[in-house]
Structure formats: C-alpha cells, structure tokens
Structure 1
Amino acid sequence: MHEDSDDFPVFDIKELKWDTETTETGEIHDIGIEERTIQSLGEIVAIADKHNMSVNIKECVLMEVQIDSAHIDISFNKSIFKEKIHFKSGVFNGKLNFWVSTFEEEADFSGAIFKEDIDFKDCTFHKEVNFFGTTFEKKAAFAFCDFKGETAFNGASFKEEVDFSGSTFRKKAIYNEAIFKKAVNLSRTLFEESLEIMGSNLPDMSQKEKEQTTQFNLSHELDKVFKKEVSRRQILRGLFRFLPEDREK
C-alpha cells in the first residue's frame, strides 16, 4: 500500500461517465480505480452492475462499503477498508477478490451467498469478522490471513474446496454447525486462543500437510517479504526452516 494513502484524492462518481459509454466496437470499458479515496463503493458497483462491467480497485482507501448484491466481478488489490463493511445477506454472482487488503473495522458477510470464487489471500482483519450462515458455492480462499479479532463461520456452508493454509486466528474462531462438502486446507494454520467446531464436519474434511512434505517455494516466500514489513532476522528464520536437517548429526 502506498505510504501516503491518507492523502489520496477523493474519487468523484462523475468520473465514471466516460467509462460507461460504449466504444466504437460496441464494447464497454471495465472500471479501474487506483490510489484514490472512495467514499461510497455502493454507487460504483451499482453503475458497473447496470452496464455489466467488472470493477478493479487497486491500492485505494475505502470508507463506506455496503453492498446488497452484485452480478459482476469485483477485485480489491492492496486496499484499506477504513470503516465497517456490510455484505450482509447479499447475493453475489461474480468473483470477489480482496488480495492483500486490510480491514480496520468489523467485516460483516453474514448470510451472504457467494456464487463464484471468493479470495481473501493475505488479508489482515483487525476487528471481528462475521461469516455466520454464509454460503460459499465455489472455492473460498483465506490463505495467509491474519485474523486479529474474533472470527465466526458458524452455520456457514462451503460447497467447494476451502483454503485456510498459513493463516493465524489470534482470537476465538467459531465453526459451530459449519458444513464442508469438500476438502479444507489447514496446513500451517494457527488457532492461538480457541477453536469451536461443535456440530461441524471440519475435522473430517481437513487436510494438514506433514511438516516433512512441505515444499519450499522461494518466489512465494520472497513475495510475502515484500508485502509485509519483515526484519532481516525474520527473513533468515523463515528461509532456514525449510532447509533439510543434517542427518549426520
């Protein structure tokens, strides 16, 4: 994220007028917004939905986020959500990506239905996250996330594969009555406080990779270093944990 993100100019909804016009070939441009402060995402999504345009938001600061439904693909890349976000009880027919984004307040996805893939890879959640009763009809990815507040997936339904690998749940994680239809990747997932799974089939569907079979991916490790502020000592510790043990000792 850009160091001066607090000084990003405010995005004016009137700027979309050129994007909503058709080109000479009859095609409609998608909406791309970068390094701006977005006061109301709902208006942008409504316009994009009307014209069947995907929305690509990169390194932006988002204030009010309340979306009831969308039929389009929406991506948030390295963005910051400053206020509580509401996707509650909405129906989303397109793909949603929140890659490397930060949620500073509560995030409410309870009761929502996601009909396509949803990806929260490498996100940071500072407050509570609520997926109570949420339905994931396609793949759901929560890999390498940092959940600092209480996280609720109770009553959620996962119909395809789910990836929680490398994530850390620092407070209570609730999966009571959550149902998983396919495999769940919990490789190197940490539950630091407590994990509730009453009535859930999570233990039966989870796949934990054994430490000795973990494959070291240099490009992935370096990519994580650039995304986060990591000291040189931490980098070395992270790399050396993948080196094979000296069997002669």
Structure 2
Amino acid sequence: MKHFILAMVALVQLSCATQNSSTNEDNSMKKLIKTDQPIYIENKTIDEVIDFTSYLDAHLISEGVYQVNVKSGITFKKCVFKKPVSAFRKMEDGSVVLTSFQGNVTFIDCFFEEDVNFRGSSIYGRTDFTNSTFDKSANFEELHCHENAFFNTCKFEGALRFQNAFFNQRVNFMNAEFYDIASFQNSLFNSELQFSAGKFFKYADFTLIDCRGRVLFNYTEFRDKADFSHSMFAQDLGFINTKNHTTNFDSCRFLGKVSFHNLEVVSALSLTDSYFMFDIPEINIPSEKLMNSK
C-alpha cells in the first residue's frame, strides 16, 4: 500500500511538472503576442534577444518598408535585459521592418545592458521608460508617440538618438541624465515638454525642434555645448537656474513668454537673429555665475 501511495504521488508530481512546462510554453512572449494577449513581466533577468519584428508577419506599407502590428500591451517592471531589445530590423536587401504598438509600451525600473532600438516605431498607447538605465546606445529616431511619454529619471550611458521623433501629447524627461551625445534634432513636440533638472554631460542637439506646448528646462545642466538653433517655441519657455557651458538659441522663434533667469554660463549664451513675439526677455546672469563669458 505504501509503495502504491508513493507511486501515485510521483505520478501527480510528474503531471504537475508537465502542466507547468506546458503553461510556461503557452505563455511565451511570442505566443501571447500572436494571440493579442497582454505581456506583463516583473523582476526577471532576460537572457535572450527581444525582437518585436520577429513575432508577427510583416506587411508592406511603403516601398522597402514593412510593418508588424502588435496589439498586446507590453509591460516590463524591474527587469534586466542581457541582450538587445529591438522593434526595428534592416534586412539584407535594404528594406526595413518597423513595429506599430496598438497598446502601451512600458519598461519601468529596467536595465538594458545592450543596444535598444525603437527606430520608426509607432506607439498608440502610453509610452513609459521611467527610471530605466540604458547602458549602451538607445535609438528612438522617427518614433511616434500618440499618448503621454515618460522618460523621467532615466540614465542614458550611451549615445541617444531622437531625431525626427513626434510626440502628440506630454513628454517628460525630468531628472534624466545623458552621459553621451543626445540628439533631438528636428523633433516635433505637440504638447508640454519637460526636461527640468536634467543633466547633459556631452553635446546636446536640439536644433530645428518644433515645440507647440510649454517647454521647461529649469535647473537643467549642460556641461558641454547645447544647440537649440533654428527652433520654434510656440508657447512659454522656462530656462531658469540652468548651468550652461556653450548654449545657442540662434535664429529661433519665441512666440510665448521666455524666462532666462539666474543662469550660470561658462563660455557663451547666444540668441543671434532670434525673434521674440513679446518683449525681448531679460537675461539674468549673476556676476558670480558668469565665467569666461565671450
């Protein structure tokens, strides 16, 4: 009787193990995305390439451009990614595959050890990378965010590319740190843009940006050159208590109120050929915060 009970226990354990294995397999990211189920992963170390372009069939949307449509909401929290994370793929014939996310794309408190590439992605839900660290390059070039986007308290250790991006609603980079070159050239911000208390340690390229909402750079530090030349600010610009090495606002258009108060300037602050709809703002640089000014 004892041997019979042990055999039954072993059989039950084997059955449970088989069920768990099957459940894990059925819940793999690829299978969940294929069935439009939400993805939620927390406190995991992921040692495989994440490539959203490979989970679904791609459809031609333009000459040489294909797209996959991900309907699943994507959420990772407190995860470590050991290998690249990508939603963009370039094929051998030169054509590219982009990703359209119909739901949210969320990576909160995550650490990316390798490159991250969301070039050309469209995100129709919330975009949230709050408090995440990018150890290598991060490419968000031509990204389209249709709802609020959060990159606050992020750390970008490698080069950051946001050229030609489009943000339909609010964007938050508050307290973010940029340790390599960061480029937002020719991006359009349709609502409020928040960069307050950020830190740029190398060149920051904001040339040709189009800002339709309020813009806040209060208490931001620019340790190297920051260039806002040929940009347009349709509403108010806050640039209070900033630390600047060489900052250019040449040939800009300011259609709202502009605040340049209590600035620290190491080399130069330039507004050559800029247009102000209201009065030219007073640029307040206390003498103790003006060093080697040209």
- In structure 2, relative to structure 1, the CA distance for the partners of 1:43 and 1:210 (3 Å cut) is closer
Corresponding residue SS for 1:78: coil
Give the TM-score taking structure 1 as reference length: 0.68
Residues 180 and 205, structure 1, Cα contact 8 Å, conserved in 2: no
Give the letter for the 1:61 counterpart. Answer: F
Whether 2:249 is the aligned partner of 1:206: answer: no
Give the TM-score taking structure 2 as reference length: 0.58
Corresponding residue SS for 1:173: strand
Matches within 5 A, 1:1-249: 14-15=28-29, 17=31, 20-21=36-37, 30-38=73-81, 39-43=83-87, 49-50=100-101, 52-62=102-112, 63-67=114-118, 68-70=120-122, 71-191=124-244, 193-201=245-253, 205-208=257-260
CA distance in 2, matches of 1:147, 1:141: 14
Give the letter for the 2:37 counterpart. Answer: E
Residues 103 and 125, structure 2, Cα contact 8 Å, conserved in 1: yes
Q: Structure 2: which 5+ runs fail to align?
A: 1-26, 39-70, 89-96, 264-294
Residues 161 and 182, structure 2, Cα contact 8 Å, conserved in 1: yes
- In structure 2, relative to structure 1, the CA distance for the partners of 1:40 and 1:74 (3 Å cut) is farther
Q: Structure 1: which 5+ runs fail to align?
A: 1-12, 23-27, 212-249
Give the letter for the 1:156 counterpart. Answer: I
Give the letter for the 1:56 counterpart. Answer: T
CA distance in 2, matches of 1:116, 1:210: 30
Structure 1 runs (4+) deviating above 6 angstroms are none
Corresponding residue SS for 2:115: strand
- In structure 2, relative to structure 1, the CA distance for the partners of 1:204 and 1:56 (3 Å cut) is closer
- In structure 2, relative to structure 1, the CA distance for the partners of 1:16 and 1:124 (3 Å cut) is farther
Q: Please report how far the alpha carbon of residue 85 of structure 1 lies from its aligned counterpart in structure 2 after TM superposition.
A: 1.3
CA distance in 2, matches of 1:132, 1:115: 17
Corresponding residue SS for 1:170: strand
CA distance in 1, matches of 2:32, 2:104: 15
Give the letter for the 1:199 counterpart. Answer: S
Q: Please report how far the alpha carbon of residue 203 of structure 1 lies from its aligned counterpart in structure 2 after TM superposition.
A: 10
Structure that is richer in helix per residue: 1
Q: Please report how far the alpha carbon of residue 35 of structure 1 lies from its aligned counterpart in structure 2 after TM superposition.
A: 2.1
Structure that is richer in strand per residue: 2
- In structure 2, relative to structure 1, the CA distance for the partners of 1:202 and 1:125 (3 Å cut) is farther
CA distance in 1, matches of 2:28, 2:173: 30
Q: Please report how far the alpha carbon of residue 173 of structure 1 lies from its aligned counterpart in structure 2 after TM superposition.
A: 0.7
CA distance in 2, matches of 1:83, 1:170: 20
CA distance in 1, matches of 2:249, 2:190: 21
Residues 117 and 138, structure 2, Cα contact 8 Å, conserved in 1: yes
CA distance in 1, matches of 2:160, 2:131: 16
CA distance in 2, matches of 1:41, 1:202: 38
Percent identity reads 16
Residues 234 and 255, structure 2, Cα contact 8 Å, conserved in 1: no
Q: Which has the larger radius of gyration?
A: 2
User: Cα RMSD between the aligned structures?
Assistant: 2.9
CA distance in 1, matches of 2:108, 2:167: 22
- In structure 2, relative to structure 1, the CA distance for the partners of 1:90 and 1:74 (3 Å cut) is closer
